Each structure stands twice: as structure tokens, then as C-alpha cells.
Amino acid sequence: MSKLTKLVNTPELFLRDMVEKRVPAIVKPLITRKPTNEKDSESNSAIVATKEASKPDSKNTLDIRHVNFYQNIPFIIHCGESLAAGSNQLAPWIPVFTQANRHFLIIVRNEPIYKWLVNTFPWIYVAYAKSASDVEEVIKLLPSLKYVFYPSSTGNNIHLVRFNHLNHVFIGHGDSDKQSSAHKALRIYDEIWTAGQAHIDRFHNMDFDTAHLKFLKVGRPNLSKILKNSEQKLPLPKVLYLPTWEGVIEDTNYSSTHHSGAILHEICSNFNLTIDVKYHPFTGNRNSALKNINNNTEHMIIEDNLSSSVIHKDVNIANIIQNYNIFICDISGVVTECLAANCPIFVYVPTDRTVIIAESNMTYHDYCYTYSSLEELSEKLQIVLSGNDYLAEQRAKAIDYFLGHEETLNDKFITQLKGIAENNQPKFISRLFEDL
């Protein structure tokens, strides 16, 4: 039987033989294992990667033992980040892709995050591909692959973007007015899926050409539940403080972390309110003096008997927002996450530096209570607590503008995933058949 005939008549057998020839030796024992019974033969004969607990050999740069390449896998999520950043960016998206009920594969480039995924989400397909050639080996084994999704714009994304037969979609890991949310580097993608109109307007307001980009509003699926329950208000005010980190360079440091002790004392002592704080996972990355901010804050809370607590840095914000009804934030993506709760938001705007943002058509001043000093925060908080939430109407408009109210409630993202999985024909890499 010729290879071409085998491909047409028995594609599964063809793919199996191809994988056996191409897959590294570390996984061949899994491919060639013999079934123990008839049922095992039917369900597992095509399994390349089992879900057995396994630890990648640190000498290997490619580990695909947790992937079943004989399934139809139309989607890849690529994460080129380290464990600290990648875990926070992937965690909100994994349940969303799972809800679409279509197979997907996560490719990571860092071994610690690979181990974290295998241990935390043992039911998903995940591959560790360190180098560009490792990525290519994975792509060769995915003839049904159609779309690659990118939750962050890392340099090693180029190792996948170079495959012209695939559609490359930037989905990001939040929505922010920070300058990084709309810059020229994002032009390497085919599509940018946004929560609402705001992100699209940020690009339109920039001075570079985005004519080739396809924008699609899909809502914020991980905030759907919060948005649906936003009318169920808490009986008493409870404050969540979410300072951002100090940034890559000082010029873009919009963090209020250095004021955090004073803010906690002000809310607890002068307003007699409960306030919890969750510091950004990257806090202390550039400023080593902030490395122990969590422990230092906890000690202060105990010593000064404050009605406050420190939330662990790895907790997903979307899982706790519904427990609060007043938010204190910095210029960052958490502002739009807090919008889903439809409660007053206070945003710190530093005055000792020029704030450079990617401007949408609504500013923080339109829908948030901005402040630049502790005195200004107290004054505006007192007004809101007295019953005058004078930005409520504008905040409702902002929810639709930034989050895509209808798209979120109607699960537009998940519907879109299902549609592209079913309607597009698989595209094949010509090199896949180079030996025919």
C-alpha cells in the first residue's frame, strides 16, 4: 500500500505510523504499548500520551506525553511566560476553553509551568516545547490545527506565528489602558479578540496602521457569572484594595503600593470598614524592598489590630470580586475586572510622573473616582458612602464599553470557538507529506 493510499483509506493508521517515525524516543514506548484487553484496545490503541503522572527529564527540551495526537485538536493556547506570569494568565482561560467542549492543547516553553499545568489540570493536553524546533515537531503532529491563541505577547510567540497556514489570535489576559495593550508588536497577529469596543478604539486612536487586523468583540467570559449577579448587592460596604506592581521601568510605575499601609489604616480607622488587600504577583520583581510586602502587611495588620487581611497573590481576582462592593485600584487591568461587579471604583493617578496610556474613548475620570492623595481618596469615599454614587450611570456605560455586556452574557467567546472548530476545514503543513 502506498503512503498516499494509506493516507486516503486509513488516515489513522497513516498518522500513527508517521508519529512513530517522528516522535522522540522518550514517548515511543507509550505509542507502541500493547493493549491488555479488547476494551483497552478500542479506547487506547491510538493514545500517544497518557495521563499518568510523569516528570519531564530536565535534559529533554520536548515533552508531549500528556497529549493524545489522534484526537481532533483545532486549537492551541501558547504561553511563553515563566511560571509566575504564565499561571496567572492561563488559569482564567482554561475553564473557558474547556466549556467549549472542543479539544485544545496548551504549549508552554518553561518546564516549571509545564509541571504546574500537569499537576493542577491533569485532564488537559499540555506540551513542553522549549525551542523553536520543538514547537515545529508539535505542529507537525497536529493536522487538524486551525487556530493559535496568545494570552500574552512574548518574544517566543514568533515560533508559532511564522506558520502561515494557521490563524493567530491575540486574546490577552485582561483589558487595560496601559500602553502595552495597543502597540505595534501586536500587528503580527491575524486577529485580536477583545472584550468590548474600548480595546478596538485604543488601536484606532494610535498613529500606526492596523488595517490588516481583524477585531472581534467576544466579551469577558471569565467574568460572566459576576456580571449576571451584579445586581445582588452586599448589605454592608466591604473594600478590596488591588494595587498593581512597580512596572518594568520607573517611568511606568503607577503603583500605590508605597501608600498601602496608610490606605489600610485610613479605611479601617477613619471609616470603620473592612478592607482586604491583594498585591500583584509581580510585586517586588524590580524593587527588592517590596519582596516581603505580603508578610510585612500581615504583621502590620496584627500589630495595629486592623480589620483587614492579605489575600494570597496567586488567588484569581475573578473568584473574589463578588465578595466586595468597593474597589481601590491603580491604573491596570483589574479596573475592568472590577467593573463587572458594578460597584464604585477608586483609581490612584500619580502626579509625580507623566501617565502614558493607550487611550480609549472613555477615561478613568468618566467612570471611576480618581484620586492622587490620601485626603482626596477620603473625601470621595465619604461622598459615595453617604449615598451619592454620582458615577453610577457612567459606570453602567463603561461596563458595556470595556467588557462587552451582551457578548459576555451570551457567551460569545465560547460560541465563536465552537463555530471555528466546526466550519473551517483543516489546513495541512506541506512538509508533513514530504516523504510521500
Q: pLDDT, tens digit, for every residue of 308-344?
A: 999 998 888 888 999 999 999 999 889 989 999 999 9
| Residues facing 77 on adjacent strands | 106, 149
| Residues facing 278 on adjacent strands | none
Total number of domains in the chain: 2
Residue 18 predicted with pLDDT over 70: no
Which pLDDT score is estimated for 36?
Answer: 38
Which range (177-181, 298-302, 344-348) has the least confidence?
A: 177-181
Please count the other Cβ atoms lying within 10 Å of the Cβ belonging to residue 216.
14
Residue of 45, 49, 59 lying closest to 23 (CA atoms): 49
Q: What is the pTM of this model?
A: 0.76
Which pLDDT score is estimated for 1?
Answer: 53
Are residues 127 and 243 both part of a single domain?
A: no
* CATH code of the domain containing 274: 3.40.50.2000
For the segment 230-235, the average pLDDT, to the nearest whole number, is 82
Give, in degrees to the nearest 5, the angle at Cα 183 between 182 and 186: 90
For the segment 346-366, the average pLDDT, to the nearest whole number, is 87
Are residues 309 and 278 both part of a single domain?
A: yes
Q: Does some domain include residue 259?
A: yes
What is the distance between the alpha carbons of residues 200 and 341, in angstroms, rounded to a whole number?
23
Which pLDDT score is estimated for 285?
Answer: 86
Which pLDDT score is estimated for 66?
Answer: 96
CB 265 within 8 A of CB 227: no
Q: Which amino acid is at 242?
A: L
When pLDDT is cut at 50, 70 and 90, the band that residue 294 belongs to is: very high
Q: Does some domain include residue 140?
A: yes
Residue of 354, 357, 115, 345 lying closest to 230 (CA atoms): 345
Which pLDDT score is estimated for 140?
Answer: 94
When pLDDT is cut at 50, 70 and 90, the band that residue 355 belongs to is: confident
**Residue that the C-alpha cell 505509542 belongs to:** 31
- Name the E strands within 16-118: 62-66, 75-79, 104-108
Are residues 265 and 150 both part of a single domain?
A: no
Q: What is the mean pLDDT of the chain?
A: 83
What is the distance between the alpha carbons of residues 413 and 402, in angstroms, rounded to a whole number?
15
- Name the E strands within 286-355: 308-310, 326-330, 345-348
Q: Does some domain include residue 208?
A: no
What is the distance between the alpha carbons of residues 134 and 299, in angstroms, rounded to a whole number?
47
Residue of 111, 123, 104, 134 lying closest to 50 (CA atoms): 123
Tens of pLDDT along 66-111?
Answer: 999 999 999 999 999 988 888 988 999 999 999 999 999 999 999 9
Are residues 123 and 268 both part of a single domain?
A: no
Residue 167 predicted with pLDDT over 80: yes
Tens of pLDDT along 152-163?
Answer: 888 999 999 999
Which pLDDT score is estimated for 179?
Answer: 58
Q: Does some domain include residue 211?
A: no
Q: Does some domain include residue 351?
A: yes
Are residues 271 and 249 both part of a single domain?
A: yes
Are residues 169 and 230 both part of a single domain?
A: no
Q: Does some domain include residue 120?
A: yes
Q: Does some domain include residue 220?
A: no
For the segment 354-377, the average pLDDT, to the nearest whole number, is 89
Residue 174 predicted with pLDDT over 90: no
Q: Does some domain include residue 79?
A: yes
For the segment 23-41, the average pLDDT, to the nearest whole number, is 38
Residue 118 predicted with pLDDT over 60: yes
What is the distance between the alpha carbons of residues 330 and 371, in angstroms, rounded to a whole number?
10
Which pLDDT score is estimated for 180?
Answer: 59
Are residues 30 and 66 both part of a single domain?
A: yes
For the segment 348-368, the average pLDDT, to the nearest whole number, is 86
Are residues 108 and 80 both part of a single domain?
A: yes
Better pLDDT: 37 or 209: 209
When pLDDT is cut at 50, 70 and 90, the band that residue 434 belongs to is: very low
Are residues 144 and 270 both part of a single domain?
A: no
Are residues 252 and 367 both part of a single domain?
A: yes
When pLDDT is cut at 50, 70 and 90, the band that residue 29 belongs to is: very low
Helix (H, G, I), strand (E, B) or coil at 277: strand
Tens of pLDDT along 235-274?
Answer: 889 999 999 999 888 878 899 999 999 999 999 999 999 9
Q: Which amino acid is at 343?
A: C
Q: Residue 122 sits in which domain range?
A: 3-173+415-433
* CATH code of the domain containing 13: 3.40.50
In sequence order, which residues have a C-beta less than 8 Å from that of residue 110 and are 6 or more positions away?
80, 81, 82, 83, 86, 128
Are residues 365 and 422 both part of a single domain?
A: no
What is the distance between the alpha carbons of residues 81 and 89, in angstroms, rounded to a whole number?
9
Are residues 265 and 385 both part of a single domain?
A: yes
